[in-house]
Chains A and B, each alone.
Chain A
Amino acid sequence: MTEAPIKITVRSLGVRYGSTVALEDVSLDVPTNRVTALIGPSGCGKSTFLRCLNRMNDTIPGVRITGDVRLDGEPLYAADVDPVALRRRVGMVFQKSNPFPKSIFDNVAFGPRVHGLRDRVRLHELVERSLRQAALWDEVADRLDRPALDLSGGQQQRLCIARALAVEPEVILMDEPASALDPIATAKIEELIHELKMRYTIVIVTHNMQQAARVSDVTAYFYLGRLIECGPTERLFTNPDRPETEDYITGRFG
């Protein structure tokens, strides 16, 4: 793997919910056009970390965030940053697919419409391109006006990816995007991630270590709210620096 420029820099990030410490002193670099996987047992803070990168934690009452997160060198938590504008640049796909109870087309067109795109021809082009990028176009091209909730679970998740792509973000955050899917649908999502990293920087949370090994270039291991180790995926899985990491990836706990 060649060295890639850094897209997101995180320094001494801490998150508290009330008196609970969810994340403490995490420093991490996310390389551009690479897949960074976050692994670790449940409750280790990896989803919290992910949600810091597009300021989705802001919506939770009682949250306190400290430290420094920068996207292309610009601080995300500066007073003059609008989290709404930030989320256009940093998209997100959730663990449970969450299509809106609208048509397939309206789901993908939601983001662009919110951001002011009204031109029907361009909207159509954008929806088609997004669905193609999400490898869903061939399955839904003839029924764009059907309810999104009629799709299968795997298709719904790819629809959510298409919906995120339609906003044309730079970074895509994925929170266990395949954990509720069967192996075939999971394989499709993983294939998709491989193709998407040509254009996007991807950060993915996963419980599945084989998945992390298959799709990611960089892996970060979290435990109890701390970053234990971060490095190139191949090295981390074959020759981890820290004994805790080895324990986890060899399945001795977690």
Chain B
Amino acid sequence: MTAHARRRRRVDRVMFTLASLATALTLGVLLFLLGYLAWQGASSVSLTFFTRLPAPVGESGGGMANALVGSFKLIALAALAGVPVGFLGGVYLAEYGGGSVGWLVRYAADVLNGVPSIVVGITVYALVVVPMGHFSTLAGGIALGLMTIPVTLRTTEEFLRLVPTSLRDGALALGAPRWVTIVRVAIPAGLRGIAAGILLSLARVAGETAPLLFTSFSNRYWSPGVGQPTASLPVMIFTYAISPYDEWHRQAWAAALVLLAVVLGSNLLARAALGRGRPA
């Protein structure tokens, strides 16, 4: 074997080891997180956790039913507020956004994506909470919705761009106007990827805590409608984790486990949707 070939093999081995280590580390962090949460939280996840309101300090038992419902309401509102804007904006960027306006929108989306979530919270506090006079589910939903816009926008654009020109040409050559080509051919062909992107962005904001502190705040009881402060899983975890009570700590672990399960579940769902897609 020549010196050159030996050197190549040595470099190959080093690089392979480094890459394997990095992979193991990535996977290890996730597994450790899951394992630790399960170990700490699983014993406190019970039926009452899903069905009961939080118990007063000193009493054992109780659950986080209101926080679960609150989180789902917040995410639903976020989807309602953010997804249409992000989706339509993405369609605009992919189909018409060649010029300087497109550049500006893309740039704005990237900046918005980098805005710290607490800043989003303060902004919505000023724009929604202050005029309303109190915290509300609505304000929290708007804050989370704002945060879904950049990812929804960019994934919609990316997946529409992946739809081959030949498909659009095919529709245009049949005498379809441009908007019909977009609505009936391009969007359906990219829909799986777009839906997965939306789901991922919603899963991401499901765990956001900072923007909710200023917007939906918290609540020990049920929050009817969307006009009242509401409990949510991330804020409950925050409040319970910094409390001095052991019972609350256990509940916080349980809530963290449930939250992670929800996020992980929707991630898997999104990936399954992507994986089953035919190459369009």
B177 within 8 A of A: yes
Contact, CB under 8 Å: B174 / A110: yes
Contact, CB under 8 Å: A111 / B278: no
Contact, CB under 8 Å: A111 / B185: no
**Given the complex of chains A and B, what is the CA–CA distance between A146 and B131 in angstroms?**
56
Q: Which of A14-22, A82-90, A242-250 lies at the binding interface?
A: A82-90
Contact, CB under 8 Å: A91 / B189: no
Main secondary structure of the interface of B (DSSP, over half): helix
Total A-B residue contacts, Cβ distance less than 8 Å: 69
For chain A, which range describes its interface: under 10, 10 to 19, 20 to 34, or 35 or more residues?
A: 20 to 34
Q: Which of A85, A96, A114 contacts B174 (CB 8 A)?
A: A114
Known: A98-B166, A110-B184, A114-B184. A87 touches B173 (CB 8 A): yes
Known: A101-B189, A101-B278, A147-B278. A61 touches B173 (CB 8 A): no
Contact, CB under 8 Å: B170 / A167: no
**Given the complex of chains A and B, what is the CA–CA distance between A61 and B98 in angstroms?**
10
Q: Which residue of B lies closest to A107 (CB)?
A: B170
Which one of A91, A94, A110 has the highest number of Cβ atoms from chain B below 10 Å of its Cβ?
A110
- Which B residues lie within 8 Å of A91 (CB)? 173-174
A56 within 8 A of B: yes
Contact, CB under 8 Å: A114 / B169: no
- Which B residues lie within 8 Å of A85 (CB)? 175
Contact, CB under 8 Å: B166 / A114: no
Q: How far is the CB of B179 from chain A (nearest CB, A)?
A: 10
For chain B, which range describes its interface: under 10, 10 to 19, 20 to 34, or 35 or more residues?
A: 20 to 34
B167 within 8 A of A: yes
* 73-129 of chain A: CB within 8 A of chain B: 84-88, 91-92, 94, 96, 98-102, 110-111, 114-115
A144 within 8 A of B: no
- Which A residues lie within 8 Å of B166 (CB)? 94, 96, 98
**Given the complex of chains A and B, what is the CA–CA distance between A251 and B48 in angstroms?**
84
A160 within 8 A of B: yes
A65 within 8 A of B: no
* 147-194 of chain B: CB within 8 A of chain A: 164, 166-167, 169-177, 180, 184-185, 188-189
**Given the complex of chains A and B, what is the CA–CA distance between A85 and B176 in angstroms?**
9
A54 within 8 A of B: yes
Q: Which residue of B lies closest to A101 (CB)?
A: B280
